[in-house]
């Protein structure tokens, strides 16, 4: 491993100036951009990574891949419990149960009947996590710079789609020789979270298999020693020039 590291540093130091690599997008992303009338070749960061506001104005695009997985899991568990233990508004009134859904919703989860279901613990855990996630979104939405928000959105794009893209192999192929890019986007995410004192729900590189994880870490060590890398600077090279 140490010999590999020395060789990588040697390659980096001897490397002549080359044009910066451009951001590669998965085919399905390119198709969605074209459907919106956007040319993937000339798209700006704002077009590539727009905000995604929910009904309350929270920008869900600032979530990480792990946080998005929590939200998806919550939705699936909630749907299952709602189908198994439905409670109408009339039934809720009769037993003095608070109506937790929208006023026009036809039913909610019958808490008393659902509490013995093993899924209930997972549901409560997901609810508690989502409360923290939404508080985190509020901080980032109000305090992070535009560039930092683009970095956060790109991190979601990479960390979630790595294991959930419709064509995972095609998506991963975009990063075949780009360990430095993976290192930078993950570093940027955790730097931003530390800067604004918000929690994280994942370990660095959690979405990568162990071998690739070690390769990316090795690339990061090499960058720290052979470039003017700063632990304080938030920078994702692949996003530069797109603003």
Q: Which one, of 37, 214, 68, 211, lies nearest residue 134 by Cα?
A: 68
Residue 127 tokens, joined: 């609810």
Find out whether 24 and 172 touch, Cβ atoms under 8 Å: no
- Our CA dihedral for 63, 181, 162, 120, rounded to 10 degrees, sits at -30
Averaged pLDDT of the chain: 87
Question: Residue 242 has what pLDDT?
Answer: 61
The CA distance from 214 to 17, in Å, is: 26
Question: Residue 24 has what pLDDT?
Answer: 61
Q: Which one, of 224, 223, 228, 181, lies nearest residue 205 by Cα?
A: 181
Find out whether 123 and 168 touch, Cβ atoms under 8 Å: no
Counting as low any pLDDT under 70, the low residues of the chain are 1-28, 241-243
Question: Residue 175 has what pLDDT?
Answer: 92
Sign of the C-alpha dihedral computed for residues 35, 40, 41 and 44 taken in this order: positive
């Amino acid at each position: 491993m140490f010999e590999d590291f020395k060789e990588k540093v040697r390659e980096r130091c001897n490397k002549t100036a080359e044009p910066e690599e451009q951001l590669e997008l998965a085919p399905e992303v390119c198709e969605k951009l074209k459907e919106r009338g956007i040319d993937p070749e000339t798209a700006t960061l704002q077009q590539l990574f727009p905000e995604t506001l929910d009904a309350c104005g929270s920008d869900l695009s600032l979530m990480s891949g792990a946080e998005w997985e929590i939200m998806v899991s919550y939705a699936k568990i909630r749907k299952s419990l709602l189908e198994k233990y439905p409670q109408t508004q009339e039934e809720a009134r009769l037993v003095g149960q608070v109506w937790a859904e929208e006023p026009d919703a036809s039913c909610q989860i019958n808490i008393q009947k659902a509490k013995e279901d093993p899924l209930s613990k997972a549901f409560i855990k997901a609810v508690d996590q989502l409360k923290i996630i939404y508080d985190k979104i509020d901080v980032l939405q109000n305090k992070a710079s535009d560039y930092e928000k683009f970095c956060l959105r790109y991190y979601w794009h990479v960390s979630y789609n790595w294991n959930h893209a419709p064509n995972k192999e095609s998506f991963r192929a975009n990063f075949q020789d780009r360990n430095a890019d993976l290192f930078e986007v993950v570093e940027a995410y955790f730097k931003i979270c530390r800067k604004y004192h918000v929690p994280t729900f994942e370990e660095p590189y959690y979405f990568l298999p162990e071998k690739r994880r070690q390769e990316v870490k090795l690339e990061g060590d090499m960058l720290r020693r052979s470039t003017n890398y700063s632990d304080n600077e938030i920078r994702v090279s692949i996003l530069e020039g797109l603003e």
